[in-house]
Amino acid sequence: MANWGFLGAGSIAASSLAPAVHAAPGARLHAVAARDGARAAALAPHRTYTAYPDLLADPEVDIVYVALHNSAHRAWVEAALAAGKHVLCEKPLGLTEAETASMERAARRADRTLVEAAWNRWHPRTRDAEAALAGAATGRPLHVTAHFHGLAPAPDNYRRDPALGGGALYDLGYYALSAVLAAFSWRTPQVTHARWESWDPASADRSVAADLTFPCGGTAEVRCSLDGTLAEEFAVHGTEGSLRLSAPAFTAGAASCTLAVTSEHVRRTADVREYAPTDPYRLMVTDVDRALSGGTGYLVPTAQSRLIARLIDAVRAAASDGSGGAGRAPSAGVGGELDPGMPG
């Protein structure tokens, strides 16, 4: 049995991760650290702390889940790794590629595993969609549409604060960009156009639009916002067919959903797969727990986390280059791409 320790007891930890750990076979919520002891106790751990270093010093904690605001990820991930703990950290892992790479190096030094908690990547539909795209089910991708529009955060919510790593790009754009990269076999694109709008001059980005071009000539349109419009769309159009996820495209779980792959060969045929309601958080915790306890389980590769961070860097640079919110950002691959042998 692996003992989990949480740094932070906010909404995601309370609503999703703590129930997942309690429900996952072989996992145990050993400790939670939060400035508010009552909030920590509400997650029903075996032990509570009011100081994060005290949890990291607990020799019974095997895996630390970092549930803090985005700008605190690097410091506490690296502290947990240095304390000899495996780490599951909320997405985005780092605010920049440099931060993400620094955490990767810290994990190697500590000989511990670091995993980004991109929970939707554990949903069976996401896994199947990524496998279908990797297998060229739609042929060479020509154009991808990825839109994610969500609820507007309260005025005092950290998502409005750039100093805390807030904004639509880090929050919702992460999902859209990771899906686009998967569609193009994790190749590095060029940002051909980007713009964003903020709630006010001092706030983080309220909405972001980015257009991408990939080495194969394919393009992608990414749109995300925290403006109260609830809409999620993901579709891939390729030389041999198309792939589409039913709404919600990125946050499926509570309700049933579908994956449709349409072939354009001779006679137009569609393969529609249906998925029952499931809890991706529980699947994530179960896989991470198994993998870090010596078994087998799916883990999001940190190389992919780093590439997502690089693309976020490029979108931010293009949207802030002083030319009215549109521009180009240089792109350099993670070795050009993650797997030169894959189509893209």
Q: Where are the beta strands (DSSP E) in 120-238?
A: 141-149, 190-198, 205-213, 219-225, 231-238
Catalytic-role residue among 74, 91, 123, 316? 91
Q: What are phi and psi of 84, to 5 degrees?
A: 85, 20
Is 85 in the active site?
no
Give exposure, 268-307, as e/b (b: 16+ Cβ within 10 Å): eeeeeeebeebbbbbbbbbbbbbbbeeeebbbbebebbbb
Q: What are phi and psi of 339, to 5 degrees?
A: -145, 95
Judged by DSSP in three states, 134 sits in: helix
Q: What are phi and psi of 256, to 5 degrees?
A: -70, 160
Distance CA 340, CA 318 (A): 26
Task: Of 67, 75, 79, give the one whose Cα is nearest residue 4.
Answer: 67
- Give the pair of three-digit tokens for residue 195: 């713009």
Helix (H) or strand (E) holding 5: strand 2-7
Distances (CA, A) of 218 to 78, 128, 213, 234: 37, 22, 6, 15
SS (H, E, C) 111-131: CCCEEEECHHHHCHHHHHHHH
CA-CA-CA-CA torsion sign (294, 174, 191, 234)? positive
Task: Of 143, 122, 232, give the one whose Cα is nearest residue 189.
Answer: 143
Residues annotated as catalytic (active site), given as ranges: 91
